[in-house]
């Protein structure tokens, strides 16, 4: 053995490397076809998840839309029900007898304020996009009711005046407001209600109850003479009834003035001293008339006008007779409704011309008089 044997290099064995093949990573389960299948399955699952999410979101949105449409229909029904009740009270106030004109005006003014509040309530309704056209027409309908009540309140005192010249134009004006009430009905039914039903049907929403309206009680409110009778506007009952609008029947027509009295005293034409009248607030003239024609007459107007001789405001009062029979006589009580002017005055009493009347020479008379205190 050599002394330097331990210093000789040792031989190291190296294991041969396995050859690198072209199919790196293609061990068990790494077949390209299987990988493609796995990817397709994953994509399919992802697509299903997306579809489910989309359908869920859409269903949620559809549910919200359906509920919003139902809520709108319900909210409109609530407002219209209140409006119906308010209009009913409006016509009750107009037709209640025994109520003073000032109280009637006050009641109608309160109802007008309520109508304004209902318009405000309607404006605060949450409106789905599909219901915006219906909402615009709802506000128009309610606005027409509010305006009709307001203008009626403005004219009712004049309509209930005892002066025909004051009452008749006011009655015609109120009759015009009834057209506005009818228009409110038409707008609501033809636009608001019809559009609500259409939108509900388009969205296949069933089982909903819609609210109808009937603001104008009947078409008689569109006739001025009927309005005057219903609101007890005696002096306004000739409104709209002229010879041009009423076709007279065959035969003679007309009335004659027979006599006028105040209390137990009969007035004398041309004798001022005999016609001395206490100037009280309840002065009533009893006017005796005769139907001198061949026909019955309706809505016969008797008017009393007091004109101060020294100048000043005239006092007028009228009374309308429902009907006079041919050849009959009637006594019509015409109350001034206010105190006449103190002093000398001229009293003119007239039975107004009726359609078909030709001879009016005996329809009126003037009486000089003195109105004294107490």
* Residue ranges covered by each domain of the chain: 53-233, 255-372
The three-state secondary structure class of 332 is: strand
Confidence of residue 104 (pLDDT cuts 50, 70, 90): very high
Beta-carbon neighbour count of residue 246 at 10 Å? 15
- 158 in Cβ contact with 169 (< 8 Å): yes
- Sheet of strand 255-262, all strands in order from the earlier edge strand to the far edge: 265-266, 255-262, 284-291, 329-335
Partners of residue 317 on adjacent β-strands: 304
Residue 51 has pLDDT above 80, yes or no: no
Residue 13 has pLDDT above 60, yes or no: no
Report the percentage of the chain scoring pLDDT > 70. Answer: 87
CA distance 110 to 153: 9
Q: Which 8-state DSSP code applies to residue 250?
A: S
Question: Which of 58 and 271 is assigned the larger pLDDT?
Answer: 271
pTM: 0.69
The distance from CA 222 to its chain's CA centroid, rounded to whole angstroms, is: 14
Partners of residue 256 on adjacent β-strands: 290
Question: Which of 111 and 271 is assigned the larger pLDDT?
Answer: 111
What is residue 241's predicted lDDT score, i.e. its pLDDT? 65
Partners of residue 285 on adjacent β-strands: 334
What is residue 73's predicted lDDT score, i.e. its pLDDT? 95
Q: Which 8-state DSSP code applies to residue 219?
A: G
Residue 56 has pLDDT above 70, yes or no: no
Residue 324 has pLDDT above 50, yes or no: yes
Residue 1 has pLDDT above 50, yes or no: no
Q: In whole angstroms, how far apart are CA 169 and each of 145, 174, 306?
A: 21, 9, 21
- How long, in residues, is the chain? 374
CA distance 208 to 210: 6
**Cα atoms in the Cβ-side hemisphere of radius 13 Å centred on 341:** 18
What is residue 53's predicted lDDT score, i.e. its pLDDT? 67
170-173 long-range contacts, CB within 8 A, separation 24+: 170/233, 170/236, 171/224, 171/227, 171/228, 171/231, 171/233, 171/236, 171/237, 171/239, 171/240, 172/224, 172/239, 172/240
Summarised one tens digit per residue, pLDDT across range 233-260 is 988 988 876 544 557 889 999 999 999 9
Residue 16 has pLDDT above 60, yes or no: no
Summarised one tens digit per residue, pLDDT across range 331-368 is 999 998 888 999 999 999 999 999 999 999 999 999 99
Q: Which 8-state DSSP code applies to residue 13?
A: -
What is residue 23's predicted lDDT score, i.e. its pLDDT? 47
| DSSP H or E segment with residue 83 | helix 32-95
User: What CATH number does domain 255-372 carry, 2.60.40.1120, 1.10.10.10, 3.40.50.980, 2.60.40.10?
Assistant: 2.60.40.10
CA distance 257 to 347: 14
Summarised one tens digit per residue, pLDDT across range 138-171 is 999 999 999 999 999 999 999 999 888 899 999 9
Question: Which of 16 and 309 is assigned the larger pLDDT?
Answer: 309
> Alpha helices of 127-266 — where are they, by DSSP H?
132-159, 164-187, 194-202, 224-230
Residue 59 has pLDDT above 50, yes or no: yes
Give the position of tokens 């038409």: 186
The three-state secondary structure class of 302 is: strand
Beta-carbon neighbour count of residue 304 at 10 Å? 26
Instruction: Compute the chain's Rg from CA coordinates.
Output: 45
How much is the mean pLDDT over the chain?
Answer: 87
Mean pLDDT of 265-292: 92
What is residue 69's predicted lDDT score, i.e. its pLDDT? 95
Give the position of tokens 């290099």: 9
Provide φ and ψ at 98, rounded to 5°.
80, 5
> Which residue, among 266, 315, 318, 316, has the nearest Cα to 288 in the 3D structure?
266
Angle at 124 between CA 119 and CA 127, to 5 degrees: 110
Confidence of residue 36 (pLDDT cuts 50, 70, 90): confident
């Amino acid at each position: 053995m050599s002394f330097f044997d331990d210093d000789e290099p040792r031989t190291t064995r190296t294991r041969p490397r396995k050859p690198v093949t072209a199919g790196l990573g293609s061990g068990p389960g790494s077949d390209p076809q299987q990988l493609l299948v796995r990817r397709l399955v994953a994509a399919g699952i992802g697509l299903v998840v997306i579809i489910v999410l989309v359908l869920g979101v859409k269903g949620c949105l559809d549910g919200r839309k359906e509920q919003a449409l139902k809520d709108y229909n319900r909210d409109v029904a609530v407002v219209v029900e209140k409006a119906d009740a308010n209009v009913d009270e409006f016509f009750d106030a107009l037709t209640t007898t025994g109520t003073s004109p000032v109280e009637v005006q006050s009641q109608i003014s309160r109802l007008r304020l309520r109508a304004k509040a209902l318009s405000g309530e309607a404006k605060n309704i949450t409106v789905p996009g599909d219901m915006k056209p219906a909402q615009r027409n709802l506000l128009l309908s309610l606005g027409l009711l509010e305006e009709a009540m307001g203008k009626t309140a403005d004219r009712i005192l004049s309509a209930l005046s005892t002066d025909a010249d004051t009452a008749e134009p006011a009655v015609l004006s109120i009759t015009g407001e009834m057209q506005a009430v009818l228009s409110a009905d038409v707008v609501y039914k033809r636009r608001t209600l019809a559009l609500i039903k259409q939108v509900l049907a388009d969205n296949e929403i069933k089982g909903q109850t819609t609210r109808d309206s009937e603001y104008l009680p009947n078409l008689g409110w569109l006739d001025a003479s009927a309005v005057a009778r219903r609101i007890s506007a005696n002096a306004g009952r000739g409104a709209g009834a002229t010879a041009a609008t009423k076709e007279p029947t065959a035969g003679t027509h007309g009335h004659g003035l027979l006599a006028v009295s105040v209390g137990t005293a009969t007035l004398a034409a041309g004798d001022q001293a005999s016609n001395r009248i206490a100037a009280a607030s309840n002065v009533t003239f009893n006017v005796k008339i005769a139907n001198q024609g061949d026909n019955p007459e309706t809505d016969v107007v008797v008017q009393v006008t007091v004109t101060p001789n020294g100048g000043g405001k005239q006092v007028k009062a009228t009374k309308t007779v429902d009907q006079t029979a041919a050849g009959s006589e009637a006594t019509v009580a015409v109350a001034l409704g206010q105190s006449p002017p103190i002093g000398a005055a001229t009293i003119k009493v007239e039975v107004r011309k009726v359609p078909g009347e030709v001879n009016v020479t005996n329809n009126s008379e003037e009486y000089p008089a003195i109105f004294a205190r107490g």
